[in-house]
């Protein structure tokens, strides 16, 4: 969900070349194996999970010694949140985590992706840590493990300590990057005896562009493109510093990687030339963050396009940014670009999305199940990774409580069934997707939409805090039990 204008302009990139996409499996035997896998389901050991984030669910913003985040301040600016709500209370997950973990267990999930609120652990971002804040995550992790659920922690899901925004301009300064590395080291030292998988930053593409470029998200700034590009570089540097911190301070065997809302590029037609165009597009449209992390360099086309607005950096920073990761987390919801081959510019041309393109209750959430096939397939080839996790996928819905008290969200089931079928198609062809985290466990505070957009498998009455399973919870439970998409 990054800026549409910049994506369209980026199509003017200078020419590049690319090799054709090779199917990981070739020949009649491979086709037979893929067909059999599609019938049998996902690979053995496939990890099924669900996800939330700290500010969206925890509430208790003034409890346990937690400091103020940029979202605590932003939600109080008139007109910024669609329904005028805040995350002050949210889902009361801070107090109801045992109840919510029981819901995860009820689904049959074996993993839970949650984020750690930086200002809960370090109220000012740095300085003296808050023992009470860390203790909450200790209790959460222990309860997960008692219920046979593996904790997967995200270090940053947008709730930057307001003190760092006030003192350094937030991600505008490399001081914040260094402090983030220190925070990552502290968390790794204290939690990786039980947390074996750590994500660094969630969705740099969203929080940089929307928070510092468009002013839509916290901290609500509208900076020139040169500064936005530099902030994006800084976020990549923060990622690299966090990777190094986890390596240095985490227990042996701790794995670490990014979780990014990749700018999705899909071939308009499944022909070799269209697939090559989509491969080029996926690399170049993500050149400002994911690609520099995975390759350790900015592409020539990116630098040429950015021109005088290109970020300033050193070789030493690029080395930190490209610190080896153990997996690649991809948040996949909707296509940003259908692409066709082009003899001009970069070798691809993004097509405009027609007004009639189908979407879910959120206008931006266009329905394109094939994204779940093409994106991991192309990403694995481009960045030569052998471990991909779908760290977010799901949909909002117009959930209505029926007279019988139930929520029959067949729209969400339709969406999930089709996306998971395409993911199963990818794994059947050998694409190294190792797990899937459904967004979200329950309805929560959905950023600028407040409480008006519902993404959960469990309906939440935000007045009473009662959780009610939607029909989609039964669907997902069945998928997990069968280890298959159910088509």
The C-alpha atoms of residue 269 and residue 427 are separated, in whole angstroms, by: 21
Q: Which of 150, 203, 279, 429 is catalytic?
A: 203
Distances from the Cα of 82 to the Cα of 79, 86, 216, 445, 448, angstroms: 7, 10, 11, 11, 6
**Cβ atoms within 10 Å of 193's Cβ, excluding its own:** 11
The C-alpha atoms of residue 28 and residue 34 are separated, in whole angstroms, by: 10
The C-alpha atoms of residue 157 and residue 318 are separated, in whole angstroms, by: 23
- Say whether 152 counts as a known binding-site residue: no
- Say whether 446 counts as a known binding-site residue: yes
Nearest to 202 by CA among 394, 441, 1: 1
The C-alpha atoms of residue 367 and residue 406 are separated, in whole angstroms, by: 25
- Do 439 and 51 contact (CB within 8 A), yes or no? yes
**Cβ atoms within 10 Å of 312's Cβ, excluding its own:** 9
The C-alpha atoms of residue 403 and residue 400 are separated, in whole angstroms, by: 9
- Say whether 157 counts as a known binding-site residue: yes
Nearest to 467 by CA among 454, 478, 477: 454
- Say whether 9 counts as a known binding-site residue: no
The C-alpha atoms of residue 256 and residue 14 are separated, in whole angstroms, by: 34
The C-alpha atoms of residue 113 and residue 419 are separated, in whole angstroms, by: 20
Residue 392 annotated as catalytic: yes
Q: Is 169 helix (H, G, I), strand (E, B) or coil?
A: coil
- Say whether 364 counts as a known binding-site residue: no
Q: Measured at the alpha carbon of residue 82, what is the angle toward residues 80 and 85, in degrees to the nearest 5?
A: 85
Q: Is 152 helix (H, G, I), strand (E, B) or coil?
A: strand
374: left (phi over 0), alpha (psi -120 to 50) or beta: alpha
Nearest to 420 by CA among 379, 480, 462, 345: 480
The distance from CA 344 to its chain's CA centroid, rounded to whole angstroms, is: 32
- Say whether 344 counts as a known binding-site residue: no
Q: Which of 58, 150, 392, 429 is catalytic?
A: 392
Distances from the Cα of 477 to the Cα of 48, 104, 375, 486, angstroms: 10, 10, 25, 11
The C-alpha atoms of residue 425 and residue 88 are separated, in whole angstroms, by: 41
The C-alpha atoms of residue 449 and residue 360 are separated, in whole angstroms, by: 15
Crossing angle for the helix pair 410-428 and 471-482, nearest 10 degrees?
A: 20
Helix, strand and coil in the chain, % to nearest 5: 45, 15, 40
- Say whether 147 counts as a known binding-site residue: no
Q: Which residues share a beta bridge with 259?
A: 202, 329
Q: Which residues share a beta bridge with 47?
A: 435
Instruction: Give binding residues for substrate as ranges.
Output: 56, 157, 202, 333, 439, 446-447
The catalytic site residues sit at 203, 392
């Amino acid at each position: 969900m990054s800026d549409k204008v910049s994506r369209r302009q980026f199509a003017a990139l200078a020419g590049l070349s690319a090799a054709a996409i090779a199917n990981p499996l070739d020949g009649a035997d491979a086709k037979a194996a893929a067909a059999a896998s599609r019938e049998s389901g996902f690979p053995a050991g496939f990890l099924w999970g669900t996800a939330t984030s700290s500010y969206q669910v925890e509430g208790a913003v003034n409890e346990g010694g937690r400091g103020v985040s940029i979202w605590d301040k932003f939600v109080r600016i008139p007109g910024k949140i669609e329904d005028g709500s805040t995350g002050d209370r949210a889902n009361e997950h801070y107090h109801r985590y045992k109840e919510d973990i029981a819901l995860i267990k009820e689904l049959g999930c074996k993993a839970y992706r949650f984020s750690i609120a930086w200002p809960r652990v370090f109220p000012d971002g740095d300085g003296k840590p808050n023992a009470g804040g860390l203790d909450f995550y200790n209790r959460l992790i222990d309860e997960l493990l008692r219920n046979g659920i593996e904790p997967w922690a995200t270090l940053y899901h947008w709730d930057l300590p307001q003190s760092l925004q006030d003192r350094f301009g937030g991600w505008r300064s490399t001081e914040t990057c260094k402090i983030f590395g220190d925070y990552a080291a502290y968390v790794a030292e204290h939690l990786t005896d039980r947390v074996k998988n750590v994500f660094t930053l969630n969705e740099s593409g969203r929080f940089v562009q929307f928070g510092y470029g468009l002013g839509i998200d916290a901290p609500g700034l509208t900076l020139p493109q040169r500064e936005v590009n530099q902030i994006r570089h800084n976020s990549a540097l923060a990622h690299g510093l966090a990777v190094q911190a986890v390596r240095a301070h985490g227990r042996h065997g701790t794995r670490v990687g990014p979780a990014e809302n990749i700018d999705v590029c899909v071939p308009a037609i499944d022909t070799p030339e269209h697939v090559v165009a989509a491969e080029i597009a996926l690399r170049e449209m993500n050149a400002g963050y994911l690609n520099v992390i995975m390759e350790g360099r900015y592409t020539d086309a990116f630098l040429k396009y950015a021109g005088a607005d290109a970020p300033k950096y050193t070789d030493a920073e690029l080395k930190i940014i490209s610190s080896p990761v153990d997996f690649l987390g991809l948040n996949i919801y909707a296509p940003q670009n259908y692409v066709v081959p082009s003899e001009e510019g970069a070798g691809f041309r993004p097509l405009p999305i027609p007004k009639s393109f189908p979407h879910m209750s959120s206008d931006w959430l266009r329905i394109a199940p094939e994204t779940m096939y093409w994106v991991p397939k192309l990403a694995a080839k481009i960045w030569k990774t052998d471990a991909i996790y779908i760290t977010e996928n799901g949909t909002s819905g117009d959930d209505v409580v029926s007279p019988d008290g139930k929520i029959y969200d067949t729209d969400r089931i339709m969406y999930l069934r089709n996306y998971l079928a395409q993911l199963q198609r990818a794994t059947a062809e050998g694409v190294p997707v190792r797990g899937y985290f459904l967004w979200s466990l329950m309805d929560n505070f959905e950023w600028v939409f407040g409480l008006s957009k519902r993404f959960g498998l469990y309906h939440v009455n935000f007045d009473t805090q009662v959780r009610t399973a939607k029909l989609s919870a039964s669907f997902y439970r069945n998928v997990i039990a069968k280890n298959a998409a159910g088509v």
